[in-house]
């Protein structure tokens, strides 16, 4: 009976909750926003693309309350100002999904210092800064959930995405450390770290992969379900779970041969185009 009741409570996790999603105007961020609204949540979207946010607000208007904030999350002052606006005008954020990200797909030697700075600030630093703004209120009410969208690139080194991989390695280490801290400090704040393979949203246009590329709707649904179930890690496809095991078991040359040669992972970015400007 207790297990059934807990399961039902988890399935209602989004009902009457405020959900903030960064990068929520497109891709899986937009899909997760729609799913949250359908589950009875209020949706707060942060995005740099104002037109897309306005379009999404109209599109989702019949699903529930939608608030939009034009924020460049590479700018810490905008993060602080927008966070205070959310807290003052809307209220405490119950579920925070750090989803926004960018990729500059080229060899490290071709990166500019600005490429590195902006990628690190958006993909890694921003998630920490944003969480800093909303975590104190979650701790005060002793409830909340933070979901950090990392990547399987945070587990596997890959040519032409070295800086992107660095940001995702950072997110995984920080996110799971935060989970343990919340547990040690006895705060009822759940942390979910997401490590998906390539998702077909346009962000990785041009990649060629022997492993099937994930469908956005399915990926978004799995993430939302993971939040509902308080999952620590949400990895997709299932084979991503084996990466750490293989890295520990295989010598590096054998891991490189299997992942790079047999599975072709190290060549996936060869024809990368991306979403463009």
| Per-chain mean pLDDT for the chain | 94
Give the per-residue pLDDT at 98: 98
Per the CB < 8 A criterion, the answer to whether 106 and 160 are in contact is yes
Provide the residue range defining the domain that includes 189.
Answer: 2-267
Query: Does residue 164 have an active-site annotation?
Result: yes
Mean pLDDT of the region 37-61:
97
Per the CB < 8 A criterion, the answer to whether 74 and 118 are in contact is yes
pLDDT in tens, 141-197: 999 999 999 999 999 999 999 999 999 999 999 999 999 999 999 999 999 999 999
Residue 236 has pLDDT above 50, yes or no: yes
Query: How many angstroms separate the CA atoms of 25 and 160, rounded?
Result: 27
With 0-12 CB in 10 A as exposed, 13-18 as middle and 19+ as buried, what is 40? middle
The one catalytic residue among 164, 197, 198, 266: 164
Residue 2 has pLDDT above 80, yes or no: no
Output the domain CATH number for residue 36.
Answer: 3.40.50.720
Within a domain: 277: no
Query: Domain count of the chain?
Result: 1
Count Cβ neighbours within 10 Å for each residue of 89-124 and write b for 16 or more, e otherwise: eeebbbbbbbbbbbbbbbeeeeeeeeebeebbbbbb
Mean pLDDT of the region 90-97:
98
pTM over 0.95: no
Within a domain: 231: yes
Element (H, E) at 103: none
Element (H, E) at 82: helix 76-89
pLDDT in tens, 99-148: 999 999 999 999 999 999 999 999 999 999 999 999 999 999 999 999 99
Query: How many angstroms separate the CA atoms of 67 and 275, rounded?
Result: 26
Give the per-residue pLDDT at 9: 53
Give the per-residue pLDDT at 4: 47
Residue 7 has pLDDT above 60, yes or no: no
Residue 270 has pLDDT above 70, yes or no: yes
Within a domain: 274: no
Within a domain: 48: yes
Within a domain: 228: yes
Within a domain: 276: no
Within a domain: 275: no
Within a domain: 173: yes
Tokens of 66: 């939608």
- Confidence grade of residue 11 (pLDDT, cut at 50, 70, 90): low
- In this prediction, what percent of the chain has a pLDDT beyond 90? 91
Look at the block and give the residue holding tokens 């190290």. Answer: 266
Mean pLDDT of the region 65-74:
98
Which has the higher per-residue pLDDT, 274 or 266? 266
């Amino acid at each position: 009976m207790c297990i059934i009741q807990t399961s039902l409570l988890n399935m209602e996790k989004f009902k009457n909750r405020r959900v903030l999603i960064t990068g929520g105007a497109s891709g899986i961020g937009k899909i997760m926003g729609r799913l949250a609204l359908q589950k009875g949540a209020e949706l707060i979207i942060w995005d740099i693309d104002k037109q897309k946010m306005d379009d999404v607000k109209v599109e989702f208007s019949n699903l529930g309350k939608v608030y939009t904030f034009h924020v460049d999350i590479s700018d810490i002052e905008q993060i602080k100002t927008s966070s205070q606006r959310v807290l003052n005008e809307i209220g405490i954020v119950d579920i925070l999904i750090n989803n926004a990200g960018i990729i500059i797909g080229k060899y490290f030697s071709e990166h500019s210092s600005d490429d590195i700075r902006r990628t690190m600030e958006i993909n890694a630093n921003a998630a920490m800064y944003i969480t800093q703004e909303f975590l104190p209120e979650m701790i005060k009410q002793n409830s909340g959930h933070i979901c950090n969208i990392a990547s399987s690139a945070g587990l596997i080194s890959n040519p032409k995405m070295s800086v992107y991989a660095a940001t995702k390695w950072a997110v995984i280490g920080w996110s799971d450390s935060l989970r343990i801290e919340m547990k040690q400090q006895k705060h009822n704040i759940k942390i979910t770290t997401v490590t998906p393979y390539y998702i077909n949203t346009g962000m990785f246009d041009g990649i060629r992969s022997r492993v099937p590329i994930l469908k956005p709707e399915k990926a978004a649904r799995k993430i939302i379900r993971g939040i509902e179930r308080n999952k620590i890690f949400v990895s997709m496809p299932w084979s991503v779970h084996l990466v750490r095991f293989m890295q520990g078991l295989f010598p590096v040359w054998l891991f490189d041969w299997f992942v790079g040669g047999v599975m072709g992972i190290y060549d996936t970015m060869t024809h990368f185009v991306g979403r463009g400007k």
